[in-house]
Amino acid sequence: MERNNQYCPKCGKANSFINEGTDEQLSATTHEQTYEGNPSLEEEIYDYIQDDKGYYARKWEKSATRNGISFNIFAFLFGPFWLGYRKMYLFVFLFSLVWLVMDFLLYLSGYTYNLANLLAFENDPVDQVISVVTFVLIGFFGNKLYKKHAIRHVKKTRATTPNYENRLTIYKKKGGASWLGVLFSFLILIGAYVIPTQFIPLNVSPIDEVQYAVYDEEENINLHDMFEVVFDKGEWTFIQTVDKTDYVDFNGELTIDQETHEVTFHFANSDDYEDIDILSVSVDNEELDVYDSSDFLDYIYDLYQEQ
């Protein structure tokens, strides 16, 4: 019996696949060469997809006149995890590398991160933009990526496995969707992006490095938290950098027994040392010695604890 070459035997939709590498519609000869036991390339692509065949047939048909663009809401919402769900692990890896390269370029460009956001586990604005753009791209081009992925795997399988029944077994194993693939995509992101990015330094402002230095490790209290509570009209100022050492001042008003005092801290932060140094403390323009400066900071800490 002559086959109907105008419609897909799996879903009833008109044939609309784009042949990878030529961007031309699959010719009717593909179906003319079809005989029982050896389906066409397009039929086997449906075998590879397994589920949601009608959905992808409609999307690919529409995208044929839109430069391959069609929107997939799940691809947009879940991004690389949707890619993993559809077993497109190579694309998960490639997007991980893109993110890694973007982080490295931000470092080279001197982009400065807000340390307060990092400590609060809040996303940096630029990182948010990169993430949103990535998810939007996957949302609009995910279907096209999946088509290329399916065509490539089916062509490879047809070239290496002559028997159709054997190919079906391969499609059931390597095609379709998998929740385990979501886990695999998560592991790929960890291995190809999260772990490597830990070795890329972050550019943080000298003021942030000083004001967010931890004073009490047990209570996880930093200088910013202390000074924010104890002082009025507090202001941090970057002075200069000399020989890889940043000099930062803090000026604020401290009220003791209804008297207001002008207080200035002089800090030094060197790349050669882990701790922040207090060079001196001035109260009403009178500089305290090293020991009194340390005691005064302890006094500020006690005031903070009382409030």
DSSP line for 251-275: EEEEEETTEEEEEEEEEEEETT-SS
pLDDT digits (tens, 9 = 90+) for 161-189: 999 999 999 999 999 999 999 999 999 99
Mean pLDDT over 55-80 rounds to 90
Mean pLDDT over 151-161 rounds to 94
Q: Which tops the pLDDT comparison, 2 or 224? A: 224
Cβ–Cβ < 8 Å for 181, 51 = no
Residue 67: the pLDDT is: 79
Residue 114: the pLDDT is: 86
Ramachandran class of 200: left when φ > 0, alpha when ψ lies in -120 to 50, beta otherwise: beta
Q: Which tops the pLDDT comparison, 285 or 18? A: 285
pTM of the model: 0.74
Cβ–Cβ < 8 Å for 128, 102 = no
Name the least confident of 25-39, 101-115, 143-157, 238-252.
25-39
Name the least confident of 6-10, 69-73, 203-207, 266-270.
6-10
**Residue 142: closest CA among 199, 189, 73, 96:** 73
Mean pLDDT over 45-57 rounds to 90
Mean pLDDT over 7-26 rounds to 45
**Residue 214: closest CA among 225, 199, 228, 198:** 225
**Angle of the 41-49 helix axis to the 164-174 helix axis, nearest 10:** 40
